[in-house]
Amino acid sequence: MNAKGDLIARLLGLGLGTPTFDAAGDGPPHDRTFRVTVTAGGRVLGEGAGRSKRDAERAAAEAALRALDGDREDDEDGAQEDEGAPEAPTGRWPIYAAVLEGALEAALELAGDDASLDDVRQDAARLYRDLLSDLGHGPE
């Protein structure tokens, strides 16, 4: 499992852009521990720790994926847990790397000269979701 890659693909598929991994190291060089916080869409999705930055990023990505799965559940009052977050389709969208790559290329070609990277990412995610929906491959 490539948790970091899966998280990036999932967030792109949800139209939330790419995540940011903020790392901090603690301890002496021979016994360093890394802590990573992963954020997307202006909110913290997960945190992780590890003996290497890579391990901490993987742990944070795994925590973020679990949090995304939990975000679809309602709280005791029947309301969504985070009403400020963009509405995401229910279920997990399948990841087809070649289709996602094509959606990114198409979004880049269609983007205007003043389009930001986030605009291109959002357009690519929309194109990807729309194509999969048209093909009958919606969320699982």
Higher pLDDT, 136 or 84: 136
Buried b (16+ CB within 10 A) or exposed e, 82-111: eeeeeebeeebbebbeebbeebbebbeeee
The SS3 assignment for 86 reads coil
Res. 45: pLDDT tops 70: yes
52 falls in which pLDDT band (50, 70, 90)? very high
Mean pLDDT over each residue of the chain, to the nearest integer: 77
Tell me the mean pLDDT in the region 106-111.
82
Distant-in-sequence, close-in-space partners of 137: CB < 8 Å, separation ≥ 6: 94, 96
Tell me the mean pLDDT in the region 43-67.
91
Alpha carbon 129 to its chain centroid, in Å, reads 14
128 with 103: CB under 8 angstroms? yes
Verdict on whether the full-model pTM lies above 0.75? no
Break the chain into its structural domains and give their ranges: 3-71, 97-134
11 with 40: CB under 8 angstroms? yes
3-71: which CATH number, 1.10.150.530, 3.30.160.20, 3.40.630.30, 3.30.499.10? 3.30.160.20
